[in-house]
Structure 1
């Protein structure tokens, strides 16, 4: 049983379903690796967001913050932290004095806590729900955080209006919000043309490059129904298309950097391990170039984005009616 401290108003049934979906990292790679396991893919994404293949988005964010105020920041909050890789990077890099991280999955929090302990990182983990942040409770006092970060998490939030209003309350004046998120169609309901492009790219690969770790030949990709997405994770991409449009109620956007992956996150899912050798490198670069060409032509739209924003002053920000 988890010993994660938690706050009231936890939906225990939903938390249990998220434990099943995200609580065991081995399940995520049971059929094979994913696109971001590939160094060439990560270098491409870094270059698209930060302009430098060697600088990842989180480092870029703290570089922007550091140009405006001294580092380390006093306190930062991670939303939907999962197994905790990003807050460990912040701790290791010395970008914040105090790190708080929340997630609704107790199993994910246990994994994150164990890995933080092994790394010697001091991080405070709390079981809490992004849909109902514990503003005003101990450790979550208004104005008590210098930055709030959502990395592959905010697209799981149904109450985006309430989340953004609460984050604005938690932030110190002109505090920072960083998002690195899927912002594409809700519940992954992509356009028919996008599905067609993905199948064309998979079909051009030789069989040995499109075979999953458990021996299945990848092909005939389909768009999952909303019910199929919800069955795996009822929070998945619930209002992803609204993650960016709703920001301007409480925040001023400083940087908005869309980046690739609309096709590659699906095409390479389960088969990325086949591209980790020199023989497969030309095929990988052909896939990446094809996606880039489709972006440039406007036939495919960016589904991922990094955003740096700052909270508006209390005098100009609207009240939070969602609590």
Structure 2
């Protein structure tokens, strides 16, 4: 079924089916709230544990982190964000939820202090925004108290969101087969060029400058870490093209998720999940 009003459907996270698919990969539960799978997984892997003090970098308005508090998984959060408007909105939301004394928004150089003081370091789609992912993870380990944990739920695909040629070819084949052959209008995914890379860097210098280095940084800084490849290659590339065009009851969504799972089985993943505990 085609969408009449696509204003609220902008990408894969706007789709309940896509969110359920992603959360199943993280937690085994088809939850339909953003990052709910992370909360479910944290509770499963640390039954009965309440993390006393946690930190999140690049938290925006802190909605994901406040959900961890309301779920009873974290007592208090230090939330670091560079955008003042996001901080102001986050503080307003915290006050509305009665969490003002449990969240502290901060602005500045989080990496300057490397003393062990946290029980949980939470990276939820923010690690790929760091200009030095290796140092960010080294800092994460340094600030952990014994028994503390690092949670990573993040993008590890091509730097600057510059899709590989084989990914674009397969994505456009899907558009022609699953959408245009059904009479659903859609433009094709453009190939990456030097110009598109420079344009992306100009538009958002923090967007995935070192995303391809995250796996290596995990292996280096988190001894014995088990990195789980979630898939997401197709939903990430095709989300802006497919989700605004159809509703969740369309067979196009089912085919999109089936193709994404096939790519994951072939070894292609744009997203990973890791949960590492310090001895």
- Class of the TM-score when normalised by the shorter of the 2 chains: 0.7 to 0.9
Cα 1:274/1:208, change in 2 over 3 Å = farther
Q: What corresponds to 1:221 in structure 2?
A: 190
What count of residue pairs does the alignment treat as equivalent?
265
The answer on 1:102 being equivalent to 2:80 is yes
Cα 1:218–1:117 shift into 2, 3 Å: farther
Q: Decide which moves more: 71-80 or 252-261.
A: 252-261
Unpaired runs of 5+ residues, structure 1, are: 1-28, 137-141, 212-216, 313-323
- Cα gap change, 1:126 to 1:208, in 2 (>3 Å): farther
Alignment of 1:170 with 2:143, yes or no, is yes
Distance in 2, matches of 1:42 and 1:283, equals 16
Checking the alignment, whether the CA contact within 8 Å between 2:234 and 2:256 is kept in structure 1 is no
5+ residue gaps, structure 2, are: 1-5
CA distance in 2, matches of 1:58, 1:161: 25
- 2:246 matched residue in structure 1: 275
Q: In structure 1, which of residues 34, 43, 49 is the aligned counterpart of residue 26 of structure 2? A: 49
Partner of 1:113: 91
CA contact 2:7–2:244 (8 Å) conserved in 1: no
Report the Cα distance in structure 2 between the residues aligned to 1:60 and 1:286, rounded to whole angstroms: 27
Shift of 1:231: 1.4
Q: 1:277 to 1:172 in 2, by over 3 A?
A: closer
CA distance in 2, matches of 1:244, 1:125: 29
Instruction: Give the aligned partner of residue 258 of structure 2.
Output: 289
**CA deviation string 1:192-222 (max 9, x = no partner):** 11011111122230499856xxxxx432533
- Cα distance in 2, alignment partners of residues 88 and 154 from structure 1: 19
Q: CA deviation at 1:186?
A: 1.5
The equivalent of 1:315 in structure 2 is none
Q: Does residue 203 of structure 2 align to residue 232 of structure 1?
A: yes
- Native 8 Å contact 1:76 1:145 kept in 2: yes
Match of 1:65 among 46, 49, 58: 46
Q: For residue 33 of structure 1, what is the aligned residue in structure 2?
A: 10
Change (3 A) 1:116 1:283: same
- Preserved CA contact (<8 Å) 1:109 1:125: yes
Change (3 A) 1:297 1:163: closer
CA contact (8 A) 2:168 2:189 kept: no
Please tell me whether residue 150 in structure 1 is matched to residue 123 in structure 2.
Answer: yes
With over 3 angstroms needed to count, the CA separation of the structure-2 counterparts of 1:289 and 1:243, relative to structure 1, is same
**Contact (CA 8 Å) 1:252, 1:310: kept in 2 or not?**
no
Pick from 43, 54, 58 the counterpart of residue 80 of structure 1.
58
> Counterpart in 1 of 2:70?
92
Deviation (angstroms), 1:37: 1.3
In the aligned structure 2, how far is the partner of 1:184 from the partner of 1:293? 17
State the match for 2:274 in structure 1.
307
* DSSP 3-state at the match of 2:215: coil
> For the structure 1 residues 277 and 259, does the alpha-carbon distance in structure 2 shift closer, same or farther, using more than 3 Å as the test?
closer
Counterpart in 2 of 1:261?
A: 232
1:264-301 per-residue CA deviation (whole Å, 9 max, x = no partner) reads 122121652443353x2x12101211222233345xx1
1: CA distance between counterparts of 2:11 and 2:17?
12
